[in-house]
């Protein structure tokens, strides 16, 4: 029986073996059996992934390192490299230098600790949390000038001293006063109380007390408090060092701040950190795993409370439930989302404004989370569940006034069997890809676009093991950086590498090699600067021509001809394989399980050159495009290409498209012409 099946999209990505029998699913018609070193576009096409450019070696390749993004604004970003008690910086695709050497500073975290280091950024400051260290802030003053110090939780504003309290007239009353100073909007602790005795009662005509106190440098104003029943109540402010109390009634709802005693010793250091409604939030110490602490509003370095607790004070609350809710991470969206070991919570306040006296904690799910920091895709949070191998999204739904989401790994669960996720990052522009690192060094790509119901997985085959990933904006696109552990010349090396932007108009500009470099200049046959790949076999794209079988010797390779634009690095193969067609016939039923024979294949391509089409895993046909003028470079092909295949009966009727060369491949659709047997 003749049949034709056109697959216009690969938007479902790779579907695992558990789904191969689900021909009733809409995703089956747009899925793949295999997707290696490719990624899915949100519009449904599939492309080979870009190559990796070598940036630098980590500070010490004997230790595992971690990448953390730093984004001040869209055109001012960096990637921080954390290793064994030190930190380096990569900016705009190069290691930051100082005095001719790679810039680095000392840190309090070991290489093992940085894998669990939590962080949140506020402009030029990165706040960090780790259960074995006091909270720190990493401050940037210049690209080659960074500092790390403790996060102060008490104000450092100097405290004034009351010199005298003088009554106008003598009497039998005693009045006690305290004074605080306000510097840059931050109130100091209160001075020690000073009392006057033998004072005239202030409710008598003409009576008053004069309070004199020392000046504080830079003070904007001073606040004066009078004691009532042991409570210091606010009676007024002044911008000089003298204040007259003529029977002002103390407002005991406004009291001076009291010193915070948090995070001061082992067991009490928080392990997670976030920012919510102008408050710095810490959570989950060893001794208090369910507790969250928030600073005063607008003052990240002030965790004090007033004597009489008010809404703008430091907040402290627990996420209690039927089982221990160990706080794993926090994320600011519409509300503060808190991911715990046992469920998902939101934290807010009355009418959406957080109030320290009335935090509203609501549990929306019971999935539980791992320690991997959640991601944000537009208005949606993505997190790794407590098993470490399932990815879920979480989004607020107005119709239900709550949060709900999907399991994004259910159709490709085979990628995660026996594995766990250790690092991930999202490159939103231009492809909306989440790069996921597994504990065995495998790298996966998840194309995610919730509004179009697109989530599609593919796998990367990288020579070595990926250990960390981070994404930052560079130019008009999001740059993805990896730490890859490779074997080079008999030793273990850890390299920071960056995915190319995959922006090209000619084949010569295309970059599809790993751990590679680019030479551009006067035509030469000797390409140097490859010492990081000493002894490795590499491939080159020289002026658009593929040169394979090169070996790096003395940090260089020799081409068979001089070239002016050369990309050199490790080769890799990109490959997709379609699922067996599921065609329904009126007379004999479904085509699944029947003999198939493919006689012709139409391939819709974009900016592609040099691919191979394989039928039944054995018959390989190479598509070679040629230009009209053979003296010119072979152009990239955009359009439909027809390929005739010798008839051959097989069981599945699948088609494989492979790119073995360091050249671009984008497949937009496939249309095999099939003959399907009745037996």
Phi-psi bin for 478: left (phi > 0), alpha (psi -120 to 50), beta?
A: beta
Please tell me whether residue 297 adopts helix, strand or coil conformation.
Answer: coil
Same domain, 661 and 578: yes
The whole-number average pLDDT for the span 563-577 is 97
The whole-number average pLDDT for the span 303-315 is 92
Ordered alpha helix ranges (H), 293-342: none
What's residue 197's pLDDT?
80
Confidence of residue 627 (pLDDT cuts 50, 70, 90): very low
Query: Which has the higher per-residue pLDDT, 340 or 7?
Result: 340
CB 497 within 8 A of CB 482: yes
Same domain, 566 and 582: no
**Which of the listed ranges 16-20, 524-528, 631-635 does the model predict with the highest average pLDDT?**
524-528
List, in sequence order, every residue forming a beta bridge with 340; answer none if it has no partner. Answer: 327
- Asked if residue 211 is part of any domain, the answer here is yes
- Asked if residue 209 is part of any domain, the answer here is yes
Confidence of residue 628 (pLDDT cuts 50, 70, 90): very low
What's residue 398's pLDDT?
67
What's residue 1's pLDDT?
46
Please tell me whether residue 192 adopts helix, strand or coil conformation.
Answer: coil
The whole-number average pLDDT for the span 524-551 is 96
Same domain, 145 and 211: no
List, in sequence order, every residue forming a beta bridge with 55; answer none if it has no partner. Answer: none
What's residue 378's pLDDT?
85
What's residue 587's pLDDT?
54
What's residue 625's pLDDT?
54
For Cα atoms 435, 137, 72, give the angle at the middle one, nearest 5 degrees.
55
The percent of the chain in helix, strand and coil, each rounded to the nearest 5, is 5, 55, 45
**Rounded CA gap, 250 and 488, in Å?**
75
Which residue in 286, 261, 272, 287 sits closest to 345, CA to CA? 272
What percent of the chain has pLDDT above 90?
A: 76
Please tell me whether residue 358 adopts helix, strand or coil conformation.
Answer: coil
**Rounded CA gap, 412 and 391, in Å?**
11
Range of the domain at 240: 162-258
Q: How high does pLDDT run on average in the chain?
A: 91
Please state the φ and ψ torsions of residue 446, each to the nearest 5 degrees. -115, 110
Same domain, 113 and 71: yes
Confidence of residue 56 (pLDDT cuts 50, 70, 90): very high
What's residue 629's pLDDT?
46
CB 80 within 8 A of CB 87: yes
- Asked if residue 414 is part of any domain, the answer here is no
- Asked if residue 352 is part of any domain, the answer here is no
Q: Above 90 in pLDDT, residue 663?
A: yes
Q: Above 50 in pLDDT, residue 433?
A: yes
- Asked if residue 250 is part of any domain, the answer here is yes
Same domain, 536 and 586: no
Query: CA-CA distances (angstroms) from residue 88 to 66, 383, 423, 437?
Result: 11, 28, 19, 21
Instruction: Using CA atoms of 527, 533, 535, 541 in order, give the dihedral in degrees to the nearest 10.
Output: -50
What's residue 676's pLDDT?
66
- Asked if residue 461 is part of any domain, the answer here is no
Q: Could you give the strand order of the β-sheet that contains 380-384, starting from the edge strand earlier in sequence?
A: 375-377, 380-384, 391-397, 402-404
Pair type for strands 13-14 and 31-36: parallel
pLDDT digits (tens, 9 = 90+) for 122-180: 999 999 999 999 999 999 999 999 999 999 999 999 999 999 999 999 988 999 999 99
- DSSP letter string over 386-399? TTSS-EEEEEEETT
**Rounded CA gap, 441 and 676, in Å?**
41
**Rounded CA gap, 113 and 111, in Å?**
6
Please state the φ and ψ torsions of residue 410, each to the nearest 5 degrees. -65, -30
Radius of gyration of the chain (CA): 33
CB 167 within 8 A of CB 199: yes
- What is the total count of domains within the chain? 4
The residue from 233, 258, 283 where one domain ends is 258
- Asked if residue 472 is part of any domain, the answer here is no
- Asked if residue 445 is part of any domain, the answer here is no
The whole-number average pLDDT for the span 49-73 is 97
């Amino acid at each position: 029986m003749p049949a034709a099946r056109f697959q216009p999209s690969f938007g479902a990505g790779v579907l695992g073996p558990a789904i191969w029998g689900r021909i009733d699913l809409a995703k089956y018609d747009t899925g793949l059996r295999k997707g290696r070193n490719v990624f899915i576009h949100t519009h449904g096409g599939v492309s080979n992934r870009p190559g990796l450019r070598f940036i630098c070696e980590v500070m010490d390749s004997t230790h595992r390192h971690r990448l953390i993004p730093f984004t001040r604004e869209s055109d001012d970003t960096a990637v921080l490299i954390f290793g064994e008690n030190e930190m380096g910086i990569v900016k705009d695709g190069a290691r930051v230098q100082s005095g001719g050497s790679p810039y680095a500073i000392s840190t309090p975290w070991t290489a093992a600790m940085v894998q669990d280091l939590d962080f949140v950024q506020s402009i030029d400051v990165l706040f960090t949390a780790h259960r074995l260290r006091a909270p720190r802030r990493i401050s940037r003053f210049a690209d080659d000038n960074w500092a790390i110090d403790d996060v102060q939780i008490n104000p450092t504003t100097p405290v004034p001293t009351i010199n005298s309290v003088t009554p106008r007239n003598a009497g039998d009353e005693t009045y006690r006063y305290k004074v605080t100073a306000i510097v840059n909007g931050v109130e100091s602790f209160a001075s020690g109380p000073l009392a006057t005795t033998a004072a005239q009662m202030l409710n008598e005509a003409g009576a008053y007390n004069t309070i004199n106190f020392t000046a504080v440098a830079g003070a904007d104003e001073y606040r004066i408090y009078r004691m009532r029943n042991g409570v210091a109540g606010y009676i007024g402010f002044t911008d000089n060092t003298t204040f007259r109390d003529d029977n002002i009634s103390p407002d005991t709802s406004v009291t001076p701040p009291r010193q915070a005693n948090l995070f001061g010793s082992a067991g009490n250091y928080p392990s997670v950190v976030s920012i919510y409604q102008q408050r710095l939030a810490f959570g989950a110490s060893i001794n208090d795993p369910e507790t969250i602490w928030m600073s005063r509003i607008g003052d990240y370095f002030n965790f004090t409370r007033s004597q009489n607790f008010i809404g703008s004070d430091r907040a402290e609350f627990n996420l209690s439930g039927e089982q221990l809710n160990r706080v794993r991470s926090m994320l600011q969206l519409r509300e503060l989302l808190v991911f715990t070991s046992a469920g998902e919570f939101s934290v807010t306040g009355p009418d959406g404004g957080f109030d320290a006296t009335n935090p509203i904690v609501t549990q929306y799910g019971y999935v539980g989370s791992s320690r991997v920091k959640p991601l944000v895709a537009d208005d949606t949070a993505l997190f790794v569940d407590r098993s470490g191998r399932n990815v879920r999204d979480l989004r607020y739904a107005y119709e239900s006034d709550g949060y709900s989401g999907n399991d994004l790994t259910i159709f490709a669960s085979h990628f995660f069997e026996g594995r766990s996720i250790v690092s991930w990052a999202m490159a939103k522009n231009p492809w909306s890809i989440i790069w996921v690192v597994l504990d065995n060094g495998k790298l996966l790509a998840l194309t995610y676009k919730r509004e179009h119901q697109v989530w599609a997985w593919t796998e990367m085959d990288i020579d070595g093991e990926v250990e960390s990933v981070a994404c930052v904006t560079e130019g008009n696109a999001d740059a993805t950086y990896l730490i890859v552990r490779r074997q080079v010349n008999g030793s273990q090396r850890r390299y920071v590498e960056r995915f190319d932007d995959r922006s090209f108009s000619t084949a010569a500009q295309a970059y599809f090699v790993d751990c590679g470099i680019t030479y551009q200049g006067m035509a030469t046959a000797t390409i140097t600067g490859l010492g990081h790949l000493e002894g490795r076999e590499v491939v080159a794209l020289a002026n658009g021509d593929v040169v394979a079988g090169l070996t790096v010797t003395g940090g260089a390779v020799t081409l068979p001809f001089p070239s002016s634009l050369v990309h050199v690095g490790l080769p890799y193969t990109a490959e997709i394989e379609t699922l067996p067609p599921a065609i329904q016939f009126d007379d004999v039923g479904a085509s699944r399980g029947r003999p198939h024979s493919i006689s012709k294949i139409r391939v819709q391509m974009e900016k592609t050159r040099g691919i191979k089409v394989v039928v039944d895993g054995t018959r390989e046909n190479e598509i070679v495009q040629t230009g009209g003028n053979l003296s010119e470079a072979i152009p990239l092909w955009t359009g439909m290409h027809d390929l005739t295949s010798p008839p051959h009966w097989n069981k599945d009727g699948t088609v494989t498209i492979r790119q073995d060369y360091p050249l671009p491949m984008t497949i937009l659709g496939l249309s095999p012409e099939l003959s399907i047997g009745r037996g």
